[in-house]
Copies of this chain bind each other. A is one copy, B any other.
Amino acid sequence: MAAVSVRDVSIAFGSMPVLDRLSIEVAAGEFLVLLGPSGCGKSTLLNAMAGLIDVEDGEIHFGERNVTWEEPKDRGVAMVFQSYALYPRMSVRENLSFGLRMARTQKAEIEARVARAAAMLQIEHLLDRRPSELSGGQRQRVAIGRALVRDADIFLFDEPLSNLDAQLRNELRVEIKRLHQRLADTTMIYVTHDQIEALTLADRVAVMKDRRIQQLAPPAEIYNRPANLFVAGFVGSPRMNFVEGRIEAPDGALVFRAGDRRLALDAYEFARRPAPGSAATLGVRPEHIGVLEAGEDVHAWSGLHVDIVEPMGADSLVWCRDGETTLAVRMAGEKPIAPGAAVRLVLDPARASLFDPASGERL
């Protein structure tokens, strides 16, 4: 039984369609992450699930219930808003407890839950302040706290961590994951544009674009076997490298070829086998490219030079270039290689992806 099932839902603002016959099923206890570019309708979908936006067409079911026309409060959802939406004239404590008080929860119970949420979010010292006296990040934490204290079956998060600093983000990410584990039956739907959040938190990730879901799969599959060019380019930071070329079969075995560089595809798991001679886009992640300095390996792509080195703390992004072709390579260390150095690159065909450049679909 799916905990949340969105069926053929269409939503438009005025004449502008935002969701178009979108369907998605979320299992009970699942942690689903909605990932997608800004403006693709993630918040809209979440709002529709919460009952805050009326759908134009289609249905939304929670378990066996058709909740399409139910009031938000009857749906048993908790939600964290992208824009905080804190009750401005109430103290933080009141913000947290208001929903509970409405539900006539016992006083002691309210206090306990508020205290727990406050401790979890490190906002104990702010409990008596007003939202206007908080910094951006503090507000966001209160907003999360407001959802945490509720005893909902379904949690909806709309980019809850986007205004937090990295440390807190990490901690809260772990908290949310833990929360999800503790409340085993709770379904969580989480909108984010943070890769790490999506990949670490999700049981499954739904990548959205253009009013549709592009791919719905566990994080590893999203990351390793993106269903199309968009997903491949969107997920993963630094971004996947793309190289235009053709599929050839010079001696029976398929080979990807771009200019005079080649990649044997024996180890590649095809989704559908392309005809030899057809155009293809090779996608390979920066961390799946190895750098050779000595010249022994014949499979290596040569003729590239280091263009820029971007230090990123633990590792660095090395931009290797030859005319039009630029490949980003992730290397450990801070200055692993000097700009200008000639490099030879080894691509891992088993971890690479191939796409049909016309349709964008995975080959």
Residues of A at under 8 Å CB distance from B?
13, 35-40, 43, 82-83, 133-138, 141, 159, 162-170, 193-196, 199-200, 219-220, 223-224, 233-234, 236-239, 285-287, 310-315, 330, 332, 334
Q: Which of B134, B136, B239 contacts A167 (CB 8 A)?
A: B239
Which chain B residues lie closer than 8 Å to A169 at the CB level? 193
Q: Which of A135, A285, A315 has the most CB of B within 10 A?
A: A135
Q: Which residue of B lies closest to A233 (CB)?
A: B167
A159 touching B136, Cβ below 8 Å:
yes
Distance in angstroms between the alpha carbons of A83 and B139 in the assembled complex:
11
- Asked if B36 contacts A165 (CB within 8 A), the reply is yes
A38-B135, A287-B332, A332-B287 known; A313+B236 contact, CB < 8 A: yes
In the bound complex, CA of A146 to CA of B159 (Å): 24
On chain B, the residues within 8 Å of A196 by CB distance are: 312-313
Q: Is the interface of A mostly helix, strand, loop or mixed?
A: mixed
> Which residues in B have their C-beta under 8 angstroms from that of A194?
166
* The 4 residue pairs across chains A and B that have the minimum distance between CB atoms: A38-B137, A165-B193, A287-B314, A39-B135
A43-B135, A314-B286, A314-B287 as given contacts; A38 in contact with B165, CB under 8 Å = yes
How many copies make up the complex?
Answer: 2
Write 28 A-B pairs (CB below 8 A) sorted by A numbering: A13-B133, A35-B165, A36-B165, A37-B168, A38-B135, A39-B134, A39-B138, A43-B135, A43-B136, A83-B136, A159-B163, A162-B162, A163-B163, A163-B193, A165-B234, A166-B193, A166-B194, A170-B237, A196-B313, A199-B311, A199-B312, A199-B313, A200-B310, A223-B313, A285-B314, A287-B313, A287-B315, A332-B332
Given the interface pairs A136-B83, A200-B310, the reply to whether A195 lies near B166 with Cβ below 8 Å is: yes
Determine whether the beta carbon of A37 is less than 8 Å from that of B165: yes
Of the listed residues A285, A286, A287, A313, the one surrounded by the most CB atoms of chain B closer than 10 A to its CB is: A313
Pair A166/B38 contact, Cβ less than 8 Å: no
The docked-state distance in angstroms from the alpha carbon of A237 to that of B134 is 25
Least CB separation from A134: chain B residue: B39
A141 CB contacts on chain B under 8 angstroms? 38
User: 7 more A-B contacts (CB under 8 A) besides A83-B136, A199-B311?
Assistant: A36-B165, A137-B193, A159-B163, A196-B313, A220-B334, A286-B314, A287-B332
What is the bound-complex CA distance between A69 and B76, given in angstroms? 53
